[in-house]
């Protein structure tokens, strides 16, 4: 294992975050604070509790997930796309690294950023609503698995994209709608039965449900199903990445 190489990529990617601290950290935190002010305090105060949970507290896991999904995809896709765009990718491709090491460097850094942002949002939320995390280990597990899985998806998008427009296409047209419709601001049990069934086709439902369970022991789907789905997406993303490096798709052709 070429640990020095993994560390080099990881440190390089994290350094980019520190250089653009305002954009990387402050911006998602600010937008989340706005969500809390609008949905938590202004509108939330007029909405009744959901499953016995204060609405302001209920949306915390969903809001964290919303940001973590978007940040994971955006950080990882930009992280690999930019060297491709600038041409500096030659160095990574010619280095004595396996694809797993390359993925560990880029995806690890993107996931780390998302986890940090998720935790900052959690800390910020605690200033607005009373929060209790019933299962902190599961909360961290879901946060890490989701960050890694969606960073892997972002990494794939960054390799697939052949322009900055395409880089934005999937996050804007797919990830954001799925995150909004995945139960960030509501429980899918509140939907009419037909929409409940349709919602189950949305993978984000399982992530938010499992994550919310770790906070309140309340979930839309069973915990085991949530974990199974996250692991399934993780394995699928990893398999697709392995194929990309095996064939050289958009990298070595």
Partner 1 sequence: MVNTETKTAISIKGLEKVYPDGFRALHPTHLDIRSGEIFALLGPNGAGKTTLINAVCGIVNVTAGDIEVYGNNITTQYRKARSCIGLVPQELTTDAFETVWNTVSFSRGLFGKPANAGFIETTLKRLSLWDKKDQQIRMLSGGMKRRVMIAKALSHEPQILFLDEPTAGVDVELRKSMWDQVHELRSMGVTIILTTHYIEEAEEMADRVGVINKGELMLVEDKKTLMKKLGKKELVFDLHQPLTDEHEELTAMKVHSAADGLQLIYTYDTLKENNGVADVLDCLNRLHIRYRDLSTRQTSLEEIFVSLVNKK
Write out the two tokens for 114: 């998302």
Token pair 């429980």: residue: 187
Name which position in 50, 59, 97, 139 contacts partner 1 (CB under 8 A). Answer: 97
State how far the Cα of 1 lies from the Cα of 4, in Å rounded to an integer: 9
Q: Is 95 in the site for partner 1 (CB under 8 A)?
A: yes
Nearer to partner 1, 238 or 245 (CB): 245
- The window from 5-13, 49-57, 164-172, 187-195 that contacts partner 1 (CB under 8 A) reads 5-13
Decide if 79 contacts 109 (C-beta within 8 A).
Answer: yes
Q: State the nearest-atom distance from the C-beta of 96 to partner 1, in Å.
A: 4
Name which position in 50, 80, 92, 188 contacts partner 1 (CB under 8 A). Answer: 92
State how far the Cα of 54 lies from the Cα of 164, in Å rounded to an integer: 41
Name which position in 22, 46, 48, 87 contacts partner 1 (CB under 8 A). Answer: 87
CA-to-CA dists, residue 218 to 181, 183, 195, 210, angstroms: 18, 13, 20, 9
Decide if 81 contacts 153 (C-beta within 8 A).
Answer: no
Q: Is 48 in the site for partner 1 (CB under 8 A)?
A: no
Mask 169-198, x = binds partner 1 (CB under 8 A)?
------------------------------
* Residue count, binding to partner 1 (CB under 8 A): 25
Considering only residues 13 through 32, tell me which ones interact with partner 1, judged by CB under 8 A.
15, 19
Q: Is 242 in the site for partner 1 (CB under 8 A)?
A: no
Helix, strand or coil, per DSSP, at residue 52: coil
**Residue 127: φ, ψ to 5°:** -80, -20
Beta bridge partners of 53: 50
> Among residues 74, 35, 29, which one has the least CA distance to residue 55?
35
Residues lying near partner 1 in the complex (CB under 8 A) are found at 2, 4-5, 7-9, 11-12, 15, 19, 86-88, 90-97, 247-248, 252-253
């Amino acid at each position: 294992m070429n640990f020095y190489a993994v560390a080099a990529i990881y440190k390089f990617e994290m350094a980019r975050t520190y250089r653009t601290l305002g954009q990387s950290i402050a911006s998602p935190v600010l937008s989340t604070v706005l969500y809390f002010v609008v949905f938590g305090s202004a509108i939330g105060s007029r909405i009744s509790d959901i499953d016995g949970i204060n609405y302001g507290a209920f949306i915390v896991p969903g809001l964290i997930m919303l940001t973590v999904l978007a940040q994971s995809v955006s950080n990882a896709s930009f992280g690999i796309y930019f060297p491709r765009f600038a041409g500096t990718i030659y160095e990574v491709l010619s280095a004595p690294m396996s694809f797993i090491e390359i993925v560990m460097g880029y995806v690890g850094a993107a996931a780390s950023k998302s986890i940090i942002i998720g935790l900052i949002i959690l800390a910020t939320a605690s200033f607005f609503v009373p929060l209790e995390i019933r299962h902190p280990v599961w909360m961290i597990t879901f946060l890490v698995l989701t960050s890694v899985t969606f960073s892997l998806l972002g990494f794939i998008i960054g390799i697939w994209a052949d322009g900055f427009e395409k880089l934005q296409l999937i996050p804007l047209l797919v990830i954001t709608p799925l995150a909004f419709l995945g139960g960030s601001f509501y429980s899918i049990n509140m939907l009419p039965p037909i929409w409940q069934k349709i919602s189950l086709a949305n993978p984000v439902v399982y992530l938010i449900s499992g994550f919310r369970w770790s906070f309140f022991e309340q979930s839309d789907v069973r915990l085991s199903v949530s974990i199974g789905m996250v692991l399934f997406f993780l394995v699928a993303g990893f398999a697709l990445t392995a194929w990309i490096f095996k064939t050289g798709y958009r990298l070595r052709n």
